[in-house]
Amino acid sequence: MDHTQAEADLTLKVSRRVSAADRVAVIELRDPFGGDLPAWTPGAHIDLVLGPRLVRQYSLCGDPSNRSVWRIAVLREPDSRGGSEQLHTAAYENDLISVRGPRNHFLLDSAPRYLFIAGGIGITPIIPMITTVAAAGAEWELHYCGRSLASMAFHEELKSISPDRVELYSRDQPASIDLDGLLANPRPDTLVYCCGPESLLRAVEQRCAGWPEGALRTERFAPKEQGEPVRQGAFEVELAQSGVTLTVPEGTSILDALEAAGVQVLSSCQEGTCGTCETAVLSGEADHRDSLLTDAERAANNTMLICVSRAAGPRLVLDL
């Protein structure tokens, strides 16, 4: 996990929008005033904030050395998702979009040789990886599968980098991907990067069981992540109803500290998603670390989820 890149809240302009394949739109984002965008590394993704609660992640698939533009590719999935549908119908050229990031949970490590396996729209994080390793002179090959060539974004661009290193598989191509053959012999000099639908990830994982630990790199959806707490170290919590004041040490939740002190408090998920432990804040500022309260509720600072949220200052007074 890479925390070296500071995460930014940006408002970017859709500078270009073109169709890249069946149901795939490529969207380019720029700073509306022409400034540089934050630096990123291959495998990074950004959050597009499409509505109060609609945040979608897209891998950056352009050139990391070009700081003036970010490129993403969006698959329209009419059967399942709200986000991609909205982007498809609402992100027109010159529109402004809220963006957070970039963030990288799919880091490209250096190796003498790479095996890239991509399925469908999963090609997007692989593209900057390939341009980077190709420029560095590493050995690499890409195996890219999709429903049909027409549905496979960027296949021509990829072929043009190195025709012999790129294999395309689809129903309209003669050969289908031979994962057993590709992954039959574990090689200590090779990293396998795979991105695509769950079925492909599972199939590759099974066949990599005999490969060295860490040889296979995949990217999957992960629950909402929180940054570091606002305040390092302990803080005090005063319970207004019972008159008790206790110290919550660093690394201990308010909930655990209350229970350790014998205060009966209700909780359930203990990860900031269910809302059962919601407690009124009478004074002091909370560092909200839950996945439930809205931005307005956080700003109002009159309630908090004590299982994960902490104090932003030295002291909180709770209605307990």
Output the smallest distance, CB 103 to another protein, in A.
Answer: 16
* 82 binding another protein? (CB under 8 A): yes
| Closer to another protein by Cβ: residue 58 or 64 | 58
| Closer to another protein by Cβ: residue 38 or 275 | 275
x/- mask, another protein, residues 189-228, rule CB under 8 A, reads: ---------x---x--xx-xxxxxxxxx---xx-x-----
Residue 259 makes CB contacts below 8 A (sequence gap 6+) with 265
Let me know: does 99 contact 60? Beta carbons within 8 Å: no
Biggest alpha carbon–alpha carbon distance for the chain: 76
Output the smallest distance, CB 209 to another protein, in A.
Answer: 5
Which helix (H) or strand (E) is 70 found in, with range?
A: strand 70-75
x/- mask, another protein, residues 149-178, rule CB under 8 A, reads: ------------------------------
* 268 binding another protein? (CB under 8 A): yes
* 292 binding another protein? (CB under 8 A): yes
* 270 binding another protein? (CB under 8 A): yes
Residue with tokens 């203990």: 270
Output the smallest distance, CB 238 to another protein, in A.
Answer: 19
x/- mask, another protein, residues 85-104, rule CB under 8 A, reads: xx--xx--------------
Output the smallest distance, CB 83 to another protein, in A.
Answer: 7
Other beta carbons within 10 angstroms of residue 304's beta carbon come to 29
The DSSP 8-state label assigned to residue 196 in this structure reads: S
| Closer to another protein by Cβ: residue 278 or 287 | 278
55 exposure class (CB count in 10 Å sphere: 0-12, 13-18, 19+): middle
Q: Which amino acid would we find at residue 133?
A: V
Sheet containing 216-218: order of strands: 166-169, 139-145, 113-119, 190-195, 216-218
Tokens of 257: 């500290």
* 185 binding another protein? (CB under 8 A): no
Which helix (H) or strand (E) is 167 found in, with range?
A: strand 166-169
Which residues bind to another protein, rule: CB under 8 A? Answer: 50-54, 78-83, 85-86, 89-90, 198, 202, 205-206, 208-216, 220-221, 223, 259, 264-270, 273-276, 278, 291-294, 297, 303
